[in-house]
């Protein structure tokens, strides 16, 4: 497969979509990003990386961090007997990523680890396991991406905290059901920091390599059991793009996880991990040009999990 040629064609196809979405403004610091950006990268399972456009420019990973926090919790506790799946489900929510409505009816157990409530539970667990969830995340991402310069964006973390009433409400509500192990202020602070990490398409495609390698890191060491990597990919497919997960599976046919920074990672198990970035979002919080690019990538290559 000539990845570089495919990426060039995908980028040309996606360009007209670049200005169609809206840059997230509910976290004011995210609005500083130019809406014109577009980048895409592929890291194959052998460690070769290809990219086009703004693929080496760091952006706010936001909810893409939720894949990595879940992986880190599973790696630290080898999930079979860990209680994380008693505290968070694995069903699509069909509601927006920051919705409160299901939590009361479902006794403070979030539907899945990729909506905000579920990610707060995972961060809480990581805090218990490591004593410093966000720093563990940063070190983990530096190691998996091979980029020692990855950093938090303090302005984004501060902005998110300042406008974090919704996430605080979710966390307090879950705490009232006994579904948090650590104090709410500490859980939401670590969650905001992990969302504020800046990474490029290159960094994210490389860091997500273990999902395409059935749990193996780039150096061949094992991060996750194959069945754990399979489970993360399965939950990405069904829940990774929120209330658009059905539409995404229909159009793209790959496990994927989006973030309101405009990034989306997608996995082709046994072949490669992709990351695309363009900040304009649709109404459900997914990058418009990013989704168009992944759609075109699977159309051109014929690769999907189906
Ligand atoms: O908690 C939030 O609202 C953001 N830090 C992350 C949300 C997000 O990326 C959802 N993505 N589509």
pLDDT in tens, 180-204: 999 999 999 999 999 999 999 999 9
CB-based contacts of 166, cutoff 8 Å, min separation 6:
98, 100, 116
Q: Is 258 in the pocket of ligand 1 (CB under 6 A)?
A: yes
State the pLDDT confidence band at 81, using cuts at 50, 70 and 90. Answer: low
Atom of ligand 1 nearest to the CA of 258: 12
Residue 79 pLDDT exceeds 70: no
Structure tokens at 195: 């969302």
For residue 146, pLDDT beyond 80? yes
Distance (angstroms) between ligand 1 centre and the Cα of 61 equals 9
**Residue 80 pLDDT exceeds 60:** no
Task: Give the percent of the chain with pLDDT over 70.
Answer: 98
Cβ atoms 132, 143 nearer than 8 A = no
Region 8-35: mean pLDDT is 94
Ligand 1 centroid–CA 220 distance in Å is: 32
Q: How far apart are the CA of 257 and the centre of ligand 1, in A?
A: 11
Q: How confident is the model at residue 94 (pLDDT cuts 50, 70, 90)?
A: confident
Look at residue 185 in the predicted model and tell me its pLDDT. 98
Q: Is ligand 1 within 6 A of the CB of residue 260?
A: yes
Domains of the chain: 3-301 (3.40.710.10)
Task: State if residue 240 touches ligand 1 by the CB under 6 angstroms criterion.
Answer: no
Geometric angle at alpha carbon 268, from 147 and 203, rounded to 5°? 10
pLDDT at residue 135, as a whole number: 98
99 lines ligand 1 (CB under 6 A): no
């Amino acid at each position: 497969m000539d990845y570089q040629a495919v990426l060039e064609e995908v980028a040309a196809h996606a360009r007209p979509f670049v200005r169609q979405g809206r840059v997230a403004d509910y976290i004011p610091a995210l609005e500083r990003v130019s809406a014109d950006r577009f980048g895409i990268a592929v890291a194959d399972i052998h460690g070769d990386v290809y990219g086009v456009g703004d693929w080496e420019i760091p952006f706010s990973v936001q909810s893409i961090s939720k894949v990595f926090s879940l992986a880190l919790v599973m790696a630290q506790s080898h999930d079979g007997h860990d209680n994380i799946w008693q505290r968070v489900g694995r069903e699509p929510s069909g509601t927006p990523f920051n919705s409160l409505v299901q939590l009361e009816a479902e006794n403070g157990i979030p539907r899945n680890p990729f909506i905000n409530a579920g990610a707060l539970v995972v961060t809480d667990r990581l805090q218990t396991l490591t004593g410093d969830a966000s720093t563990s995340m940063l070190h983990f991402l530096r190691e998996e991406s091979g980029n020692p310069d990855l950093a938090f964006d303090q302005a984004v973390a501060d902005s998110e905290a300042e406008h974090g009433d919704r996430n605080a409400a979710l966390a307090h509500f879950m705490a009232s059901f006994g579904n948090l192990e650590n104090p709410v202020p500490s859980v939401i602070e670590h969650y905001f920091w992990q969302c504020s990490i800046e990474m490029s398409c290159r960094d994210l495609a490389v860091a997500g390599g273990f999902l395409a390698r059935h749990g193996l890191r780039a150096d061949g060491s094992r991060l996750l059991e194959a069945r754990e990597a399979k489970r993360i990919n399965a939950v990405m497919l069904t829940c990774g793009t929120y209330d658009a997960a059905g539409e995404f599976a229909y159009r793209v046919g790959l496990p994927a996880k989006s973030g309101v920074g405009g990034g989306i990672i997608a996995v082709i198990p046994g072949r490669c991990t992709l990351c695309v970035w363009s900040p304009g979002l649709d109404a459900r919080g997914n990058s418009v040009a990013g989704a168009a690019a992944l759609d075109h990538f699977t159309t051109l290559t014929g690769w999907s999990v189906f």
